[in-house]
Amino acid sequence: MKFCVLLYAAVLFAADPPKKTFPFPYTQEELPNGLRLVTISTDSPNLVSIYIVVQTGSRNEVEPGKTGFAHLFEHLMFRGTEQYSPQKYQEVLQRAGAASNASTGDDFTQYYTTFSKEDLPQILAMEADRFQHLKYSPEMFKTETGAVLGEYNKNSSNPEEKLDEVLHDTAFDRHPYKHTTMGFLKDVQDMPNQYDYSLRFFDRYYRPEYTTIVVAGDVDSKRVRALADQSWGSWKRGSYRPDIPVEPLQKGPRENRVDWPLPTLPLIAIAYKGPAFTDTQKDWAALDVLATLAFSRTSDLYQKLVVNEQKVDTLDGEIARRVDPNLFEVEARVKRADDMQYVRDQILNTVKRFQNEVVPADKLAAVKNRERYQFTMQLDNSQTVAQTVARFVAQRRTPDTIDRLFEIYAQLTPEDIRAAAGKYLVESGRTIVTLTGAGAGGGK
């Protein structure tokens, strides 16, 4: 034990962290049409990574029967324009030796490409073309919905996906966070009939005021801006503003269960309504730190349930980083169904303890150090730099939010953690969902 204490001290004093957490210089500009451009010079030679972030995700799917459309669009965006057919688009990427893909979340859809710097002008122009002039036929549209159903199918063999789906459906009444990014299966199956709606969706959201381009790597910001003006400058600003329903205050604990048709280990998710992501208040950061203190590998509960008693084989806690209030969630995979009640009680007792007791200052300091090291250590190449910035851009459209968030972490006190637990981890905002497999040992 002595060894550990010494080590903690060594880490605390050896580190003389710089004021700015984000270590690279960047520029942030807005084109007259509202498009945001962030250019980051990293010191890695030759490569460039572009992330185009559209602030549209499953959160924007406000109409009934139309869940999963943000994600469907991630697919449709590869269906070509008059200037670049899908084949031609692929050919350009291939000749550039580029790695390219896209992903969708609750709040955003992002498109990324990593390649050699000499191909920047062509790739930036080609991307501008598809964001402005995407064109697909009803037949192409229907074909792509088949690929989306295929994606649903490949996810569907995982019970954790199902647990997540039911948890959100149970915890939310009105806000689109009620459904997952994939959407409800019935909506995915109905997608082939929704060609006209898809055109409307594109017209609403694929607009400069929703979009930020992050360029990281061996680049010069003036040149990137000139290229952006050339190919993205004519993109027309839109006018649609979604009326995203506000989730009413939850007034009592909720529970649900999933019976998984195959043998699997039981799962339990305990979630609370948490705050929206913020880089100006302490609430979100305090719950983020609390999740680490209470439920990560170094927590007392992990030590008890996973290492000593060995009743649980995975335990995690996290607060989702979302534009609107989302969930603080603890999830455990339990080895025997008989222990489900015990594990549930242990998690609830831990929550109670954090509401009543303040955490030791040295533990809080260790988490702060960890957050900072973890953040800076991952930035070891241009693609992860762009990717990391894109994650923050999805919320706030600026890398400035990174340093602001880390300033908040630095200011957190043990009392802030306790206060956040007291305010948010309350029974009336709680949802518990369990999943048990066919023939799981004992219990029922």
Q: Hey, what's the torsion of the CAs at 354, 356, 358, 359, to 10 degrees?
A: -30
Residues 389 and 398: their CA atoms lie apart, in Å, by 8
Q: Among 265, 323, 332, 433, which residue interacts with other proteins (rule: CB under 8 A)?
A: 265
437 binds other proteins, rule: CB under 8 A? yes
Interface pattern 43-62 for other proteins (x via CB under 8 A): -x-xx---------------
- Per-residue CA distances from 227 to 80, 353, 385 (Å): 21, 55, 21
Interface pattern 20-39 for other proteins (x via CB under 8 A): --------------------
Our CB check for other proteins shows the closer of 101 and 356 to be 101
226 binds other proteins, rule: CB under 8 A? no
Helical axes 195-205 vs 138-155, angle rounded to 10°? 90
Tell me the closest approach of the beta carbon of residue 2 to other proteins, in angstroms: 10
Residue 252 DSSP code: S
Lay out the sheet containing 254-260: strands in order across.
254-260, 430-437, 267-273, 327-334, 312-319
Tell me the closest approach of the beta carbon of residue 376 to other proteins, in angstroms: 7
Q: Which stretch binds other proteins (CB under 8 A): 240-248, 260-268, 271-279, 412-420?
A: 260-268
Q: Using CB under 8 A, which residues numbered 118 to 137 contact other proteins?
A: none
313 binds other proteins, rule: CB under 8 A? yes
Q: Among 35, 70, 98, 163, which residue interacts with other proteins (rule: CB under 8 A)?
A: 98
Contact of 56 with 172, CB cutoff 8 Å:
no
Which residue from 362, 358, 367, 357 is spatially nearest to 295, judged by alpha carbons? 367
Q: Is 255 exposed, middle or buried (0-12, 13-18, 19+ CB in 10 A)?
A: exposed
Q: Using CB under 8 A, which residues numbered 336 to 395 contact other proteins?
A: 365-367, 369-371, 373-374, 376-377, 380-384
Our CB check for other proteins shows the closer of 375 and 398 to be 375
Q: Which stretch binds other proteins (CB under 8 A): 2-10, 279-287, 396-404, 409-417?
A: 2-10
Q: Among 145, 180, 194, 431, which residue interacts with other proteins (rule: CB under 8 A)?
A: 145
113 binds other proteins, rule: CB under 8 A? no
328 binds other proteins, rule: CB under 8 A? no
Contact of 114 with 383, CB cutoff 8 Å:
yes
Our CB check for other proteins shows the closer of 341 and 378 to be 378
Reading the block at residue 192, the tokens are 């082939």
139 binds other proteins, rule: CB under 8 A? yes
Residues 285 and 277: their CA atoms lie apart, in Å, by 8
Reading the block at residue 384, the tokens are 């992860």
Q: Among 136, 141, 235, 328, which residue interacts with other proteins (rule: CB under 8 A)?
A: 141
Residue 141 DSSP code: H
Our CB check for other proteins shows the closer of 296 and 355 to be 296
Largest CA distance in the chain: 69
Q: Among 263, 360, 422, 441, which residue interacts with other proteins (rule: CB under 8 A)?
A: 263
Q: Using CB under 8 A, which residues numbered 147 to 166 contact other proteins?
A: 147, 149-151, 153-154, 156-160
14 binds other proteins, rule: CB under 8 A? yes
Which residue from 51, 159, 147 is spatially nearest to 108, judged by alpha carbons? 51
Parallel, antiparallel or unpaired: strands 254-260 and 430-437? parallel
- Please, where are the H alpha helices in 296-358? 300-302, 340-356
276 binds other proteins, rule: CB under 8 A? no
Cα 332 to chain centroid distance, Å, stands at: 20
Tell me the closest approach of the beta carbon of residue 150 to other proteins, in angstroms: 4
Tell me the closest approach of the beta carbon of residue 18 to other proteins, in angstroms: 11
Tell me the closest approach of the beta carbon of residue 381 to other proteins, in angstroms: 4
Contact of 205 with 240, CB cutoff 8 Å:
yes
First to last CA, the chain: 42
85 binds other proteins, rule: CB under 8 A? no
Our CB check for other proteins shows the closer of 234 and 298 to be 298
Backbone angles phi, psi at 56, to 5 degrees: -140, 120
User: What stretch of H or E contains 27?
Assistant: strand 26-30
Our CB check for other proteins shows the closer of 257 and 297 to be 297
Our CB check for other proteins shows the closer of 34 and 192 to be 192
